[in-house]
Structure 1
Amino acid sequence: MPVPAGYQVVGGGQQGPTCFQKLKMGFMMGAMIGGATGVLLGGFGAWRMGLRGREMFSQIGKVAAQSGGSFGVFMTVAQGLRC
């Protein structure tokens, strides 16, 4: 049976994702979870600071990007340790 591009054959003929694909998936999951958390925490923080309108959305975007990026990196490292 032909093996699709990007997959490697694991024992017993089963197919599994490559290490690079696992790292990408770890980053994507971490970025999504961190970004969602950043939106919640950034929105609450902006609201407490009294920001409204454009300033509020700017603050939420900054916090979400920082949170998503950092948590994505941590999840990538954790997934790399498991490869």
Structure 2
Amino acid sequence: MMPVAVGPYGQTQPSCFDRVKMGFMMGFAVGMAAGAMFGTFSCLRIGMRGRELMGGVGKTMMQSGGTFGTFMAIGMGIRC
């Protein structure tokens, strides 16, 4: 059994998997925000309206969130 790393004030440090997971979630949130802005602009620019607009913006948000989250998770994994 591995000893648990203890921080300067007695709290335990998060595991490497927890750090990677947190990096993905932070990156996903930032990517979703960026996707909302850029997706809305690009969909409005090409003339989408209503349900089509919501679908296009949602797709862009998921794509950019997943991409940025993956890169943030990789970065946090490298730091472990």
Q: Give the match for residue 20 of structure 2.
A: 23
Q: Give the match for residue 3 of structure 1.
A: none
Q: Is the 8 A contact 2:7 2:13 kept in 1?
A: no
Q: Give the match for residue 33 of structure 1.
A: 30
- The answer as to 2:5 corresponding to 1:9 is yes
RMSD across aligned positions (CA) = 1.4
Compare relative contact order (CA 8 Å, sep 6+) and give the higher one, 1 or 2: 2
State the Cα deviation string for residues 34-64 of structure 1 (Å, max 9, x = none): 0010011000001100100000000000100
Instruction: Normalising by structure 1, report the TM-score.
Output: 0.85
- Uncovered stretches (5+) of structure 2, i.e. residues with no partner: none
Q: 1:15 to 1:49 in 2, by over 3 A?
A: same
How far residue 15 of structure 1 moved from its aligned partner, in angstroms, is 1.4
Runs of 4+ in 1 over 4 A off after TM superposition: 11-14
Rounded Cα–Cα distance in structure 2 between residues aligned with 1:11 and 1:27: 23
Rounded Cα–Cα distance in structure 1 between residues aligned with 2:75 and 2:65: 15
- Uncovered stretches (5+) of structure 1, i.e. residues with no partner: 1-7
Q: Which has the higher strand share?
A: 1
